[in-house]
Structure 1
Amino acid sequence: MKQVITTEQKPIKLWLDDIDNAALDQAKNLANLPFIFKHVAIMPDSHLGYGMPIGGVMATQNIIVPNAVGVDIGCGMCAVQTSMTEIDTNTLKGILGKIRMSIPLGFKHHSREQADWIHSCEASCKFIKDGIIEKEYKASLKQVGTLGGGNHFIEIQRGSDGHIWIMIHSGSRNMGLKVAKHYNDLAIKMNEKWFSSVPKKWELAFLPLDDEIGRAYFTEMNCCVEFALTNRQRMLDVVKKIFKENTHGNVDFGEMINIAHNYAAVEKHFGEKVVVHRKGATRAFPDQTGIIPGSQGSSSYIVKGKGNPDSFMSCSHGAGRKLGRKQAQRELNLKAEQERLDRLGVLHALRGKKSLDEAAGAYKDISVVMENQSDLVDIDVELRPLAVVKG
Structure 2
Amino acid sequence: MHTSGKAIIETEQIPIKLWLDEEQMDEGALEQARNLANLPFAFKHIAIMPDTHEGYGMPIGAILATQGAIVPNAVGVDIGCGMCSLRTNLTEVETADLKAIMGIIRDTVPVGFNHHKTPQDEAWMPERKGSLPIVEQEYESALYQLGTLGGGNHFIEIQKGSDGYIWIMIHSGSRNVGFTVANHYDDVAKQLNTAAGVDVSQDLAYIPESSDQFELYWNEMNYCLEFALANRKLMMERAKSAFRQVLPEVEFADFINKPHNFAAVEEHFGETVIVHRKGATRARKGEWGMIPGSQGTRSFLVKGKGEAQSFESCAHGAGRIMSRAKARKTLDLKAEIKALKELGVLHAIRHRTDLDEAPGSYKDIDEVMRNQVDLVDVQIELQPLAVIKG
Residue number among 102, 126, 129 corresponding to 2:129 in the alignment: 126
Checking the alignment, whether the CA contact within 8 Å between 1:117 and 1:230 is kept in structure 2 is no
Name stretches of at least 5 consecutive residues in structure 2 with no aligned partner: none
Residue number among 113, 117, 120 corresponding to 1:111 in the alignment: 117
Checking the alignment, whether the CA contact within 8 Å between 2:172 and 2:232 is kept in structure 1 is yes
Q: Tell me the amino acid that sits aligned with residue 279 of structure 1.
A: K
Q: What's 1:363 paired with?
A: 362
Matched, 1:304 2:280: no
Q: What's 1:215 paired with?
A: 215
Q: What's 1:7 paired with?
A: 11
Matched, 1:22 2:47: no
CA distance in 2, matches of 1:115, 1:271: 44
Q: What's 1:88 paired with?
A: 94
Q: How do 1:113-262 residues align onto structure 2 when only pairs under 5 Å count?
A: 113-117=119-123, 121-122=126-127, 125-126=128-129, 128=131, 131-196=133-198, 199-247=199-247, 249-262=248-261
CA distance in 1, matches of 2:146, 2:11: 45
Indicate how the Cα distance of structure 1 residues 345 and 12 shifts in structure 2: closer, same or farther if over 3 A, else same: same
Checking the alignment, whether the CA contact within 8 Å between 1:51 and 1:202 is kept in structure 2 is yes
Shift of 1:240: 0.4
Q: Tell me the amino acid that sits aligned with residue 253 of structure 1.
A: F
Secondary structure of 1:235's match? helix
Checking the alignment, whether the CA contact within 8 Å between 2:16 and 2:45 is kept in structure 1 is yes
Checking the alignment, whether the CA contact within 8 Å between 2:65 and 2:276 is kept in structure 1 is yes
Residue by residue over 1:82-127, the C-alpha shift from the partner in whole angstroms, topping out at 9 and shown as x without a partner, is 10001111011001111111111111111111111576x33xx325
CA distance in 1, matches of 2:227, 2:130: 13
Checking the alignment, whether the CA contact within 8 Å between 2:124 and 2:234 is kept in structure 1 is no
Q: What's 1:372 paired with?
A: 371
CA distance in 1, matches of 2:118, 2:103: 21
Q: Tell me the amino acid that sits aligned with residue 304 of structure 1.
A: K
Matched, 1:60 2:66: yes
Residue by residue over 1:127-162, the C-alpha shift from the partner in whole angstroms, topping out at 9 and shown as x without a partner, is 526x10000001101100000011000000000000
TM-score norm. by structure 1 comes to 0.97
Secondary structure of 2:252's match? coil
Checking the alignment, whether the CA contact within 8 Å between 1:63 and 1:209 is kept in structure 2 is yes
Q: Tell me the amino acid that sits aligned with residue 60 of structure 1.
A: T
CA distance in 2, matches of 1:251, 1:175: 34
Shift of 1:211: 1.6
Amino-acid identity (%):
58
Residue by residue over 1:307-348, the C-alpha shift from the partner in whole angstroms, topping out at 9 and shown as x without a partner, is 000000000000000010000000000000000100000000
Residue by residue over 1:41-60, the C-alpha shift from the partner in whole angstroms, topping out at 9 and shown as x without a partner, is 00000000000000000100
Secondary structure of 1:240's match? helix
CA distance in 2, matches of 1:367, 1:281: 17
Matched, 1:289 2:288: yes
Residue number among 61, 65, 75 corresponding to 1:69 in the alignment: 75
CA distance in 1, matches of 2:233, 2:314: 23
Q: Tell me the amino acid that sits aligned with residue 220 of structure 1.
A: E
CA distance in 2, matches of 1:101, 1:118: 20
CA distance in 1, matches of 2:123, 2:359: 35
Matched, 1:332 2:334: no
Q: Tell me the amino acid that sits aligned with residue 12 of structure 2.
A: E
Secondary structure of 1:38's match? coil
CA distance in 1, matches of 2:123, 2:334: 42
Q: Tell me the amino acid that sits aligned with residue 142 of structure 2.
A: S
Secondary structure of 2:227's match? helix
Indicate how the Cα distance of structure 1 residues 371 and 117 shifts in structure 2: closer, same or farther if over 3 A, else same: farther
CA distance in 1, matches of 2:210, 2:366: 43
CA distance in 2, matches of 1:49, 1:117: 34
Shift of 1:243: 0.4
CA distance in 2, matches of 1:213, 1:369: 38
CA distance in 2, matches of 1:54, 1:126: 29
TM-score norm. by structure 2 comes to 0.97
CA distance in 1, matches of 2:124, 2:243: 27
Secondary structure of 2:43's match? strand
Q: Tell me the amino acid that sits aligned with residue 324 of structure 1.
A: S
Checking the alignment, whether the CA contact within 8 Å between 2:82 and 2:172 is kept in structure 1 is yes
Checking the alignment, whether the CA contact within 8 Å between 1:117 and 1:227 is kept in structure 2 is no
Shift of 1:210: 3.1
Checking the alignment, whether the CA contact within 8 Å between 2:124 and 2:230 is kept in structure 1 is no
Secondary structure of 1:42's match? strand
Q: What's 2:380 paired with?
A: 381
